[in-house]
Amino acid sequence: MFQVNENYLKLPGSYLFSTIAKKVKSYTEANPHRKVIRLGIGDVTQPLAPAIIKAMHEAVDEMGDVRTFHGYAPDLGYGFLREEIAKKDYQERGCAIEADEIFISDGAKSDCGNIQEIFAADSRIAVCDPVYPVYVDSNVMAGRTGEYDEAKGIWSNVIYMPCTAENHFVPELPEERPDLIYLCVPNNPTGTTLNREQLKLWVDYANETGAVILYDAAYEAYIREEDVPHSIFEIPGARTCAIEFRSFSKNAGFTGVRLGFTVIPKDLKSSNAAVHSLWARRHGTKFNGAPYIVQKAAMAVYSDEGKAQLKEQVAYYMSNAELIYEGLKEAGYQVYGGVNAPYIWLKTPGDMTSWEFFDWLLESANVVGTPGSGFGPSGEGYFRLTAFGTRENTMEAMERIRNLKA
Ligand code: MLT
């Protein structure tokens, strides 16, 4: 009889956002007349910017003409997009990143989940707690995380770096030595960032200890403060210790279009191999390239017209963040995040657990958020709201929350 990968059997329950979707579905089926406002998963609501739609239309027309038709895309991405990214996202910010160090993919989630494959099976991973669940779950699937302690919500072979109000949600260097360090900055879910000095500490630590930083910068477009780096490659020394993940989902609304990229400097080497060539090998074997139409659409993200339109879109979501932040404060909550990130992280009132607050908010205000404990044990007692809703829904949700008594 065939056997399944037993590591999958260790995964507790379903993926966080699938669990939430199921709960909301059963609530809406039982209460069809209630208008539920979804501020749970960080999914965008604004349409694609006109410059992107125009580029997409043009690419669609090219696909309909035998002279300009495109079949398989190059597996690592079209040169035109890799060049543009290297120039506009990196070189213009003073980062020494070349086009052939950019790997185009169908999104940062896949890359964050897949990257662990190219590292040794016995690598120790360190994650912030709370954490974007993909980092941990993908390592569970690979058999790297040991045993799950259900009562504590932790894995025996994962180094957790608690991020709570006490340390301003900033991870501290771990006592145990990790091989792979996952950092998400600006952070999902807490909305916190690292300034230049704080990030330099991590780069120096990784170089000294021989660790790799897996740096998820999916929310980079939301950075508003001056001293916050947009890329880890702004920090000297990062080329020998870091990989960066970027997404077009949050800066350009591509959650349903799918596109992202990973930056692996050629200087990132272990004692026996260059990581760059391993990822190229993996990508070439398991990925057939992101669609031409989508990569052409992404070019518009870097045009003057596209940049101006997307700046407005990001500002729209950040106004929502402000509305949520201020509204919650007014309602008496302790609130964090929302300044350099589209996520607002709040303390649940009294001694309500995160899931109790989820149920209470869904039932009494018909508002959906994300329970902090779903991101890890240090998220217990916290709750995440996203700024990616429409303005109308965000305002209505805040009105409902303000009118509640916990
Ligand atoms: C989230 O809500 O945390 C994000 O939407 C997840 C993602 O980007 O995959």
* pLDDT tens sequence across 181-222: 999 999 999 999 999 999 999 999 999 999 999 999 999 999
Residue 405 has pLDDT above 70, yes or no: no
Residue-level pLDDT at 272: 85
Burial of 391 from C-beta contacts in 10 A (0-12 / 13-18 / 19+): middle
**Tokens describing residue 389:** 């809703």
**Measured from the CB, is residue 41 less than 6 Å from ligand 1?**
yes
Taking the C-alpha atoms of residue 195 and residue 74, their distance in angstroms, rounded to an integer, is 36
pLDDT of residue 93: 96
- Mean pLDDT is lowest, of 16-20, 215-219, 369-373, 382-386, for 16-20
Atom 1 (ligand 1) nearest CA: 42
C-beta of 20 in contact with ligand 1 (< 6 A): no
Give the DSSP per-residue string, 121-170. TT--EEEEES--HHHHHHHHHTT-S--EETTTTEETTEEEEE--GGGTT-
pLDDT band at 13 (very low <50, low <70, confident <90, very high): confident
pLDDT of the residue at 252: 98
Q: pTM (2 decimals)?
A: 0.97
Q: Whose CA is nearest to atom 6 of ligand 1?
A: 42
Rounded average pLDDT over 357-362? 97
Atom of ligand 1 nearest to the CA of 370: 2
Contacts of range 229-233, beta carbons closer than 8 Å, 24 or more positions apart: 229/194, 229/195, 229/196, 229/199, 230/89, 230/93, 231/89, 231/90, 231/93, 231/95, 231/263, 232/183, 232/185, 232/199, 232/203, 233/90, 233/95, 233/96, 233/97, 233/263, 233/265
Ligand 1 probe mutation, 184, 187, 188, 344, most atoms within 8 A of CB: 188
**Residue 406 pLDDT:** 56
Mutational test site, ligand 1, from 132, 190, 216, 317, max ligand atoms within 8 Å of CB? 132
- CB of 42 sitting under 6 A from ligand 1: yes
The pLDDT assigned to 12 comes to 85
What average pLDDT score do residues 256-263 get?
98
Residue to substitute in 41, 105, 386 for testing ligand 1 pocket (most ligand atoms within 8 angstroms of CB): 41
User: Which pLDDT value is given to residue 222?
Assistant: 98
Mean pLDDT throughout 151-156? Answer: 95
Q: Per-residue pLDDT averaged across 133-155, rounded?
A: 96
Per-residue model confidence (pLDDT) at position 391: 98
Query: For residue range 282-317, what is the model confidence (pLDDT) as tens digits?
Result: 999 999 999 999 999 999 999 999 999 999 999 999
Q: Mean pLDDT throughout 105-113?
A: 98
CA of 134 to the centre of ligand 1 (A): 9
